[in-house]
A and B are shown apart, each in its own frame.
Chain A
Amino acid sequence: MISKDELAYLAKISKLDLSEDEAEKFPKQLERTIEYIDILAQLSSDDPIVLDLQEIKFDELRDDVINTSGGRPINKNLTEDGFLKGPKMK
């Protein structure tokens, strides 16, 4: 069983705030999924991992081209004097 403490730790490293309801039901749901994927333990660790899904052709990498971003401006509350300003670390 995934304990509430383990769930809290997973949530912390995933940067997720869980609601009370989620904190209550997620341990059991995640446990069931992890039990299901546990069948992978039966597989040998000796088989190679073959990275052949798509052989990346590095000679075909495109040239870097500098363009102006037309995207959403970075959160305006986080910019000051042309710098990015973040929330306090602690």
Chain B
Amino acid sequence: MSNLYDLLAFEVVEGIEEGLFTAEEYVCSVIKRIEDVESKLHSFISLDSEGALSSAKLIDRKLKEKENIGLLGGVTVGIKDNISTKDIRTTCASNILKDYVPSYDGTVIRHLKENGAIILGKLNLDEFGMGSTTEYSRFMPTHNPWNLDYVPGGSSGGCGAAVAAGECTVSLGSDTGGSIRCPASFCSVVGLKPTYGKVSRYGLISYANSLEQIGPICRSVKDVVMIMNIISGKDMNDNTSISSSPITINDKSNNLDIAIVKELIDGSDDAVTRTIYSTSEKFKEIRCECNEISIKNLNYALPSYYTLASAEASSNLARYDNIRYGFDLPIDDYKWDNYFSNVRKNFGEEVKRRILIGSYVLSSGYYSKYYLKARRLRSLLRLELLTLFKKYDLLIGPTMPILPFKFGEKIDDPLKMYLVDINTVIANLAGIPAITLPVGFSNGLPIGLQIMAAPFEEQKLIDASYALENTINIQRRPNLI
């Protein structure tokens, strides 16, 4: 048998149930892997090895006593550090929450635990999910396991790197404008942003509520299905959540009509373009039709996204007022405004920039010029996409228009950094599901294919991804040590 930490989630569950290895042996293998590679990657903000080992022992005991160990019995999960975990520090990679320990589990965490998953620790991100590289984490940047000089993508960069490197079986990230798909693409793993409402956001620390969703990052499509079926569903604590049908792995894709979005290809790196076109040819091998189409309103998508996300951020982050979250500063030395602004010095530069832009686009005189126009574009884009989905089952293009880049390349120019999200924000604006699948490499750097579907049509994404995954033969594990 290969290294235990290399196993996929469904192999872990099968192996433990069949007695090929114990949950404790598996968790020990993953912890050893973390000890070996974490000093190079910096994926974790908090690691709960002790808690993970005691959960593993409990699973082994249950199995011995012939009790049910759950659908994810023994699977180790890394959690993006903006999802609340009871008694485990949840920082959002921000100084303002560096000592915050939630008193409750987010709904997704509760579902994972109820099904036997083992929460291994909390993974690095750009502060409050604002960024595409993890360079905006206030603690440290995470490194790309395929080349340590390069960024892993973001904001869920710790999730992408840890899964790719075998530091956990799967991870949960959050995606506001591409934050699951960008690191999954840059780290050559599979990442799914579900339809808005499919997964409860209760316990996800808010950045831009109307755009964000929690979703899985895994090493295989089959693992994505396993996790999605556990975390999806209606939750009374999130009134935007909706119950939906479970998804499955089908061995045959069903003659899907697929469209390549021209605007997503235009402007991409040559290597990315070549790989996406050659991948589109593979769809024909699995009996899918593939045509090229245009989306009229795509020009406006990224400016709309940054208008709406910043506006929502400026409102959401107003809660960090040093009363409910912050530090126990005495009040005698301060006046009202200074008391709040003093603690808010703990925000990093990117968070401050987005709050300021949000205040700007919401202020009198600019509200109708920017914010309302962005809302209108969002409606137009969704309607245009829903019309296209009447004709096509899936829309495809590169997840990221560029290859992973080196640290420091874009950090001094915020606009340059924003532009890397150009292909991913569409799905968040329209509330549709989108998956990224590893499809190739250029100079050792990963390339991902993005597939989008109509709301709640995750099954079509899975059918196409699973079929494609089985036809593409690429290296699956980085040579880290």
Q: Show the binding face of A for B, using Cβ within 8 Å.
A: 7, 10-19, 22, 26, 29-30, 32-34, 36-45, 47-50, 52-54, 56-57, 60-62, 69-72, 74-78, 84-90
Contacts and interface: CB of A to CB of B under 8 A. Distances in A.
Contacts of B323: 74-75, 78, 84
B1 interface: no
Given A30-B356, A85-B331, 6 more contacts: A13-B363, A15-B341, A17-B338, A29-B414, A71-B102, A77-B328
B240 A30 contact: no
Interface in B364-401: 368-370, 372-380, 382-383
B139 interface: no
A15 B344 contact: yes
Given A29-B414, A45-B368, A37 B242 contact: no
B304 interface: yes
Given A16-B341, A43-B377, A75 B329 contact: yes
Interface string B318-334: 10011111111111001
Nearest to A7: B356
20 contacts: A12-B337, A16-B341, A16-B356, A18-B352, A33-B414, A34-B357, A38-B303, A43-B300, A43-B377, A48-B379, A49-B372, A49-B379, A53-B196, A54-B196, A54-B240, A72-B103, A72-B324, A74-B324, A78-B331, A88-B336
Closest 7 CB pairs of A and B: A70-B103, A37-B303, A40-B373, A50-B379, A87-B339, A62-B236, A17-B341
A36 B352 CA distance: 18
B210 A53 contact: yes
Contacts of A48: 376, 379
Nearest to A60: B239
Interface string B232-257: 00001101101000000000000000
B275 interface: no
B10 interface: no
Interface residues of B, number: 74
B349 A39 contact: no
A13 B377 CA distance: 27
Interface string B75-98: 000000000000000000000000
A45 B363 CA distance: 18
B339 to A, nearest CB: 4
A50 to B, nearest CB: 4
B352 A49 contact: no
A77 B329 contact: yes
A5 B249 CA distance: 58
Nearest to B383: A50
Interface of B: 100-104, 196-197, 210, 236-237, 239-240, 242, 299-300, 303-304, 306-307, 314, 318, 321-331, 334-342, 344-345, 347, 349, 352-353, 355-361, 363, 368-370, 372-380, 382-383, 413-415, 418, 431
Contact of B431 (A10, A11, A12, A53): A53
B359 to A, nearest CB: 5
A42 to B, nearest CB: 8
B382 A52 contact: yes
B100 A40 contact: no
A56 B353 contact: no
A7 B368 CA distance: 20
B356 A14 contact: yes
A31 to B, nearest CB: 10
Contacts of B342: 17
Contact of A77 (B197, B330, B355, B382): B330
